[in-house]
Amino acid sequence: MTGRTARIGRWGLALGCYGAAKAAVVQLTKTLATEMGPHGIRVNAVAPGWIRTPMTGRHGAEAQARTEAAMARLSPLGRVGDPEDVAHAVLHLACDASAFTTGQILRPNGGVAMPW
């Protein structure tokens, strides 16, 4: 690189790699849904937004509170997600209520628009 450095994300991930991995999951979900549908197998993925977990709080309670407040302001619901929010989304995809759903990316994110 000529005097420039690659932009590294907040968690030390190169954003290009992170974005490529997300795109790969989306495409794999669609491809597998197409291939497995004739066998009666549904394939979907879940891409949650900011969820309160031990990982998001690894920098301490004060940092977590600041980050959660900032993330909550981005959500029309005014809060960050809890693990139960993701579990309920997965439960929906696993039950008969979603029997006609395949090849989809479910985004339990509190209404926050996500770039992927």
Residues labelled as active-site residues: 18
Handedness of CA 22, 85, 104, 115 (dihedral sign): negative
Backbone angles phi, psi at 95, to 5 degrees: -100, 170
Is residue 110 within 8 A of residue 75, CB to CB? The reply is: yes
Residue 53: closest CA among 76, 17, 94, 85: 85
Assigned token pair, 91: 């439960």
Cα–Cα distance, 16 to 21 (Å, whole number): 9
